[in-house]
Structure 1
């Protein structure tokens, strides 16, 4: 029998990537995708919402109407999980990350808003809607600094590494 990816057979390796290697792979994933699923919880229960995101290192940034259910939920309980994933072609291409953290909602004028707003690429939306580029849509942004990340990449098995890797924010980075 011909097997396309024989390295997927058998038990998974358990070897861990060095921190800098893992961070490089996570940042590559975050940089190569632009949609995530943001999971929040509110009075009506859990809510998983697809949102376009931007990132600054291991921090996810997204825009939303201040009255949206996800923003309402974040005001009630800022704990979130964010799922980012690459398109799946087969088991060998499985690659994604679950980020866990505490979200903040920043309004224009809040400390740090400008730092995070600078990575939001709003211009293409404005062009698509025939809006003036000299008038940016300054509204609230959601900011999720990852406290921990579960990164999955089955191609790592081929290199002798566990397909699931774990990252935590270093104390020195807080």
Structure 2
């Protein structure tokens, strides 16, 4: 029987991308998507929450109500994981990233929010809510700067690279 992607039937290669090429692929994925699944852990156990995010380099950020379960969990343990993935139509199109890091909560009056609002498309949310688009929202912003990322892309197998690649901040 003919195969569309015969390279998927072979044993997976183990070759690693260069850091530059891996970073380019990760940044492309983060910029091309806007939803992730945020994993937190709290007194009631683990929670996985769909979240609309924006990215700035490798950081992902989102707004959240301070009273939400994910924010209670982050307050108890800021270690989080976020899964970002592209739409899947088959194994060859499998592409995503697991981001591991600590969530940093920036309150509405925190001056550290400023550089993130430039990358956050808050104007869209203001229009959706009928708010003026003259200044960033006075909301809590959560930023995840990753310590490590596990990037998966099965199309890499076609060029002889491992489908799972590993990025660590401390490898810089």
For the aligned pair, the TM-score class normalised by the smaller chain equals: over 0.9
Given that residues 66 and 139 in structure 1 are in contact (C-alpha distance below 8 angstroms), is that contact kept between their aligned partners in structure 2?
Answer: no
1:47 counterpart residue number: 47
Provide structure 1 residue ranges, at least 5 long, that are not aligned to the other structure: none
Query: What's the RMSD between the two structures over aligned residues?
Result: 1.2
TM-score (norm 2): 0.96
Aligned length: 172
Given that residues 93 and 155 in structure 2 are in contact (C-alpha distance below 8 angstroms), is that contact kept between their aligned partners in structure 1?
Answer: yes
Superposed counterparts of 1:47-126, under 5 Å = 47-126=47-126
Distance 1:37 1:56, change over 3 A: same
Given that residues 82 and 98 in structure 1 are in contact (C-alpha distance below 8 angstroms), is that contact kept between their aligned partners in structure 2?
Answer: yes
CA offsets 1:132-156 (integer angstroms, 9 cap, x no match): 2235421111110000000000000
2: CA distance, partners of 1:23 / 1:51: 23
CA offsets 1:106-165 (integer angstroms, 9 cap, x no match): 013324211122211111122123222235421111110000000000000000000000
Distance 1:130 1:45, change over 3 A: same
Aligned partner of residue 61 in structure 2, secondary structure = strand
Q: More displaced, 28-37 or 101-110?
A: 101-110
TM-score (norm 1): 0.94
Given that residues 83 and 99 in structure 2 are in contact (C-alpha distance below 8 angstroms), is that contact kept between their aligned partners in structure 1?
Answer: yes
Given that residues 108 and 114 in structure 1 are in contact (C-alpha distance below 8 angstroms), is that contact kept between their aligned partners in structure 2?
Answer: no
1:9 matched to 2:26: no
Given that residues 107 and 140 in structure 2 are in contact (C-alpha distance below 8 angstroms), is that contact kept between their aligned partners in structure 1?
Answer: yes
1: CA distance, partners of 2:149 / 2:72: 24
Aligned partner of residue 112 in structure 1, secondary structure = helix
1: CA distance, partners of 2:94 / 2:160: 16
Aligned partner of residue 10 in structure 2, secondary structure = coil
1: CA distance, partners of 2:136 / 2:169: 33
Given that residues 38 and 81 in structure 1 are in contact (C-alpha distance below 8 angstroms), is that contact kept between their aligned partners in structure 2?
Answer: yes
1: CA distance, partners of 2:33 / 2:121: 14
